[in-house]
Amino acid sequence: MNDFNEQNEFEVELQSPKKPRKNHTTAKVMAFILSVAVVGGGTGFVGTYFAGRQLRSEVAQQTPDSNDAQSPQQSDNSEESNKATPTLDDLQGDVSIPTTDSQIERNSDGTYKYTRDLVNAVSDSIVYIDVSVNYYGTETLYSRGSGIIISKDGYIVTNNHVVEDGDLFSVKVNDNANGGESKTYEAKLIGTDSETDLAVLKIEADNLPAAVLGDSDKLHIGDDCYAIGNPLGLETSVSKGIISGLNRQVSTTDYGLTSIQTDAAINSGNSGGGLFNAYGEVIGVVNEKYVSSYAESLGFAITINDAKSVIDDLISKGYVTGRSILGITYTLIPETYANRYGIAAGMRIESIDNSLAIAKSDLRVGDTITKIDGQSVITSEVSKILASKTPGDTVTLTVVRQGSSRNNTVDIEVELSENTGNT
């Protein structure tokens, strides 16, 4: 319905000041056309196109400026970077839900009988995250959110939109179950993924109260669930509800994961917190809600089973593996403009990444790509064409050479490279 206004939850709690964006080398801007140096993006007349979280990108990759800060996925030559990276299974191997209290009552199926006992057992696995930016030399609070401790040694899962654009990350951990006091740590950003809205932080600590990751495939509509997070800065808040829907596709990106729908109260600041089942296991990472005068109690959490492979990749690589890119920057020329000036409509190439496989092809700067594997780049969603491909696959580009008639085309085969997220 047009009346139903979808809004990404989690608008940054602190709206100002905004962090200055990094300046990347961009292609030339043609008259009437906005040049986009992105990895993909929608077809049609080019504009500044936002898809909920950030500028879409899946097709062309741009080389970062030499002055840009090192991205999380770029490794250095330090001894730490050469250490074997643990898998999520390794990290979860020694994690269990505390069962020391003999007074805890359970139902016949093993679920907690009382919500208070479940909350006492698992709430310390949820952390409070402060994100700051270096705003013209001054450290300034930029956003706040929640996170889930997934290992005793300090790996934490949260949402990408909680940490994106941040420079400094502060994590407050409670350890009330063991009689300890809260403690604040400086966190390192391990990896982020805007497509799935997941990110991983790491703090240097031992014997933390980590959460057990459950099996979201075993959920049923009507099951009890519990959202624990820090809405509006209110630390360790709990809301109870039921599973209202499963396998929801609410992401605006081609690589978005399935979501769990719940009527448990979700508010700004719950981002990155946990959705727990009645056994005290994490079944989802809270990340969205619908905001509308025509709807309420529509909250969503990323399904934990779908999230696990993303988390594994972020820990081991800093980016999600297996996604393909061409490796170009381009200007999208719409048909109306092309017809007016007698040129080809399509993706006019402004630069080619010489570090990727595409550099070995016959493609040239100034060429205009009109089709990919026979599908028009004007009428088809380019990002969706590439979403079905894997790195190493070969695609056929139908190209009009610069200076040639728009009816004079040539087919060029190009090998796709892996998108490492360095846009």
- The CA distance from 208 to 152, in Å, is 4
Residue with tokens 């270096």: 134
HEC profile of 181-224: CCEEEEEEEEEEECCCCEEEEECCCCCCCCCCECCHHHCCCCCE
Q: Which residue has the higher pLDDT, 401 or 402?
A: 401
Is the model's pLDDT at 389 over the cut of 70? yes
Q: To which residue do tokens 């643990």 refer?
A: 86
If you average pLDDT over residues 45-51, what whole number do you get? 24
Distance of alpha carbon 392 from alpha carbon 395, whole angstroms: 10
191 in Cβ contact with 319 (< 8 Å): yes
Q: Is 244 helix (H, G, I), strand (E, B) or coil?
A: strand
Q: In one letter, which amino acid is 329?
A: T
Please give the domain boundaries of the chain with CATH numbers for all domains. Answer: 216-307 (2.40.10.10)
Q: Which residue has the higher pLDDT, 227 or 290?
A: 227
Per-residue pLDDT for 421 more than 80? no
- What was the pLDDT predicted at 240? 96
Tell me the pLDDT band of 379, cut-offs 50, 70 and 90: confident
Averaged pLDDT of the chain: 80
pLDDT digits (tens, 9 = 90+) for 133-174: 998 889 999 999 999 999 999 999 999 999 999 999 999 998
Q: Identify the pLDDT of residue 2.
A: 41
- Residue 197 annotated to the active site: yes
Q: What pLDDT is attached to residue 18?
A: 39
| pLDDT of 6 strictly over 60 | no
362: tokens are 């016959």
pLDDT band at residue 183 using 50, 70 and 90 as cut-offs: very high
From 4-8, 38-42, 55-59, 195-199, the region with the lowest mean pLDDT: 38-42
Q: 284: Cβ–Cβ under 8 A, 6 or more apart, which residues?
A: 216, 259, 260, 274, 275, 301, 302, 303, 304, 307
What pLDDT sits at residue 422?
58
pLDDT of residue 296: 75
Angle at 200 between CA 206 and CA 225, to 5 degrees: 90
Tell which residue, 85, 41, 303, 124, has the closest CA to residue 202: 85
State mean pLDDT over 246-260: 82
Which residue in the list 143, 194, 237, 271 is annotated as catalytic?
271
Q: What is the DSSP string of 306-335?
A: HHHHHHHHHHHTSS-TT-EE--EEEEEE-H
The pTM of this model reads 0.74
Q: How confident is the model at residue 298 (pLDDT cuts 50, 70, 90)?
A: confident
> In this predicted structure, what is the pLDDT of residue 99?
73
Judge whether 194 counts as a catalytic residue: no
Asked if residue 34 has pLDDT above 90, the reply is: no
161 is catalytic: yes
Res 100: pLDDT: 61
In the chain, the amino acid numbered 259 is: S
Catalytic choice (197, 254, 312, 313): 197
Q: Which of the following is catalytic: 161, 237, 251, 313?
A: 161
Q: What is the number of other CB atoms lying within 10 angstroms of the CB of residue 220? A: 8
| pLDDT tens, residue by residue, 232-252 | 988 889 999 999 999 988 776
Task: For residue range 313-333, list pLDDT tens digits in order.
Answer: 999 999 999 999 999 999 999
77 alpha carbon, distance to own chain's centre = 27
Alpha-helix runs per DSSP H in 65-177 = 88-92, 115-122, 160-163
Distance CA 149, CA 210 (A): 5
Q: How confident is the model at residue 255 (pLDDT cuts 50, 70, 90)?
A: confident
Check whether 16 has a pLDDT greater than 50: no
Least confidently predicted of 31-45, 87-101, 130-144, 352-366: 31-45
